[in-house]
């Protein structure tokens, strides 16, 4: 797929444009969209341009990107974030994500709402983590834990920001509910748009249509896929759940969706091995801060007490450098690789990760930083009013 090389694809925005061409609106907007007015989603990205680099010039640099988080060695300080319904973006879905991560020397976090089973994903990459929603109830969740444990998954990412699905307006407009439901008639108005993407449609149908949820196995078997609004009903994890999760899982537990220093402290008090500073990419409560804005305050409170992972708006290697300078131990990238997956499957994921890696090497050279540990607050300034505490 030389179409993915420069100059066709130079940055993540190019992969996004290609994904937009390839996918039906319903699938692209599911990936690209966010909640309500998408104020937070935009701010996730805009906040990065309010962080100003202060480079150390004229020093010899040969950057080493390696780091270690949650007991796992990573060749780069970014991990692939869980994305529900990845198999809808491309039949290879989670396998492409895990495989691309493996080739980049990093980890992959498998979503509960995934179309490929834990076992197949583990075959792609030993640095795999499992993201937890309580879909299908506590027993179904425990079954998934047991499988993940037996397979050697490295940790759980427990998502706490989904008391209910955010109001993702594009999904309604695109008929996501009817399209994911069983009855045919309500789908009709939305079919012409989908038929205008025959290549996607052919692949989707060959893949067997909408996959079930092989990682949510209830007493009656794997749950069928539904739209995200329904999926997240009763799937929410509360602080009280951590106790039984801890009993059912002896390994690292990361709390994903922390947006305040108080919740970060609480996660530490509950014994979390890590937190993800995340607003779910602006897909849940609109009007929360761009996640980079709350990072400094959270770092001040819990740095050194738990692993701090940052998520939200990473589109360039320079963004990764900024989050690390502000105190994150590593970051998650989501849409950045998913655009690549939607555009070109495995090769697209590889290209996205290569762009981010090359960007980060260049940025560290230009900053005068040789290691991830040298990315410190001394290398950045914040515009006035940047922080939200």
Catalytic machinery residues: 280
Which among 59-67, 188-196, 216-224, 275-283 is the span making contact with other proteins, rule CB under 8 A?
59-67
| Tokens describing residue 255 | 């709390």
Q: Applying CB under 8 A, which of residues 3, 21, 54, 138 lies at the interface with other proteins?
A: 54
- Residue among 21, 37, 55, 188 that touches other proteins (CB under 8 A): 55
- Tell which phi-psi region holds residue 257, choosing left (phi > 0), alpha (psi between -120 and 50) or beta: left
- Beta carbon nearer to other proteins, 301 or 386: 386
How far is residue 15's CA from residue 342's CA, in Å, rounded to a whole number?
Answer: 9
Q: How far is the CB of 157 from other proteins (least distance, A)?
A: 29
Shortest distance (Å) from residue 229 CB to other proteins:
34
Contact assessment for residue 74 and residue 67, using Cβ atoms and an 8 Å cutoff: yes
* Closer to other proteins by Cβ: residue 63 or 282: 63
Whole-number minimum distance, CB 63 to other proteins, in Å? 10
Taking the complex as a whole, the smallest distance from the CB of residue 52 to other proteins amounts, in Å, to 5
Among the listed ranges 64-72, 79-87, 137-145, 357-365, the one in contact with other proteins (CB under 8 A) is 357-365
Give the containing element (helix H, strand E) for 74.
Answer: strand 72-74
- Which CB, 61 or 265, lies closer to other proteins? 61
- Angle at the Cα of 254 (from 248 to 256), degrees rounded to 5? 120
Calculate the alpha carbon distances from 45 to 49, 122, 335 in Å.
8, 32, 12
Q: Which residues from 358-387 bind other proteins, rule CB under 8 A?
A: 359, 362-363, 365-368, 381, 383-385
- Binding of residue 335 to other proteins (CB under 8 A): no
Q: How many residues bind other proteins (CB under 8 A)?
A: 31
Interface with other proteins (CB under 8 A), residue from 20, 36, 61, 163:
61
Other Cβ atoms within 10 Å of 352 Cβ, number: 29
* Residue selected from 12, 27, 47, 51 as contacting other proteins according to rule CB under 8 A: 51
Which residue's CB is nearer to other proteins, number 235 or number 380? Answer: 380
CB 156 within 8 A of CB 129: yes
Q: Which one of residues 3, 21, 56, 243 is an interface residue with other proteins (CB under 8 A)?
A: 56
The CA-to-CA distance between both ends of the chain, in Å, stands at 45
DSSP 123-173: HH-SSEEEEE--TTHHHHHHHHHHHHHHHT---EEEE-S-SS----HHHHH
Residue 143's CB is within 10 A of a number of other CB atoms, namely 17
Is the Cβ of residue 225 or residue 336 nearer to other proteins in the bound state? 336
- Does 322 help bind other proteins (rule: CB under 8 A)? yes
Among 2, 7, 183, 238, binds other proteins (CB under 8 A): 7
60 binds other proteins (CB under 8 A): yes
DSSP 350-367: HHHHHHHHHHHHHHHHHH
Question: Which residue among 2, 58, 185, 240 contacts other proteins (CB under 8 A)?
Answer: 58
DSSP 88: H
Residue number, 59 or 195, with CB nearest to other proteins: 59
Between the alpha carbon of residue 51 and those of residues 45, 249, 296, 319, 379, the distances in Å are: 11, 38, 12, 9, 10
Query: Taking the alpha carbons of 222, 345, 27, 203 in that order, is the dihedral positive or negative?
Result: negative
> Do residues 126 and 148 lie in contact, with contact meaning Cβ atoms separated by under 8 Å?
no
What minimum distance in Å lies between the beta carbon of 217 and other proteins? Answer: 45
The residue among 164 and 358 lying less far from other proteins, judged by its C-beta, is 358
According to the binding rule CB under 8 A, does residue 59 interact with other proteins?
Answer: yes
The two tokens of residue 45 are 């990205």
**Smaller CB separation from other proteins, 79 or 380:** 380
Select from 17, 49, 193, 376 the one that contacts other proteins (CB under 8 A): 49
- Point out which residues bind other proteins (CB under 8 A): 6-7, 10-11, 48-49, 51-61, 316, 318, 322, 359, 362-363, 365-368, 381, 383-385
């Amino acid at each position: 797929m030389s179409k993915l090389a420069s100059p066709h694809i130079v940055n993540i925005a190019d992969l996004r444009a290609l994904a937009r061409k390839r996918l039906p609106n319903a699938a692209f907007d599911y990936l690209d969209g966010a909640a309500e007015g998408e104020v937070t989603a935009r701010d996730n990205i805009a906040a990065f341009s309010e962080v100003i680099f202060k480079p150390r010039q004229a020093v010899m640099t040969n950057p080493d990107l390696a780091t270690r988080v949650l007991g796992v060695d990573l060749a780069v300080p970014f991990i692939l974030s869980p994305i529900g319904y990845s198999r809808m973006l491309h039949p290879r879905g989670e396998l492409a994500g895990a495989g691309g991560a493996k080739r980049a020397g990093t980890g992959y976090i498998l979503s509960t709402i995934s179309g490929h089973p834990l076992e197949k994903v583990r075959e792609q990459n030993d640095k795999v983590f499992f993201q937890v929603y309580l879909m299908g109830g506590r027993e179904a969740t425990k079954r998934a834990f047991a499988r993940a444990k037996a397979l050697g998954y490295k940790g759980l990412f427990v998502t706490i920001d989904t008391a209910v699905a955010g109001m993702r307006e594009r999904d309604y407009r695109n008929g996501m509910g009817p399209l994911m439901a069983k009855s045919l008639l309500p789908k009709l108005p939305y079919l012409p748009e989908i038929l205008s993407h025959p290549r996607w449609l052919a692949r989707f149908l060959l893949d067997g249509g909408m996959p079930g949820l092989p990682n949510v196995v209830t007493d009656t078997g794997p749950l069928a896929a539904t739209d995200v609004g329904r999926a997240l009903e009763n799937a929410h994890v509360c602080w009280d759940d951590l106790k039984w999760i801890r009993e059912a899982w002896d390994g690292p537990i990361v709390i994903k969706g922390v947006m305040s220093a108080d919740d970060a402290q609480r996660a530490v008090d509950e014994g979390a091995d890590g937190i993800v500073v995340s607003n779910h990419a602006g897909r849940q409560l609109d009007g929360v801060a761009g996640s980079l804005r709350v990072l400094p305050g959270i770092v001040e409170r819990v740095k050194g007490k738990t692993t701090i992972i940052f998520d939200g708006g990473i589109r360039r290697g320079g963004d990764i450098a900024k989050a690390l300078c502000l105190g994150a131990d590593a970051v998650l990238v989501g849409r950045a690789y998913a655009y690549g997956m939607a555009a070109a499957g495995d090769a697209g994921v590889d290209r996205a990760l290569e762009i981010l890696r090359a960007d980060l090497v260049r940025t560290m050279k230009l900053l005068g930083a040789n290691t991830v540990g040298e990315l410190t607050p001394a290398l950045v300034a914040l515009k006035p009013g940047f922080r939200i505490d």
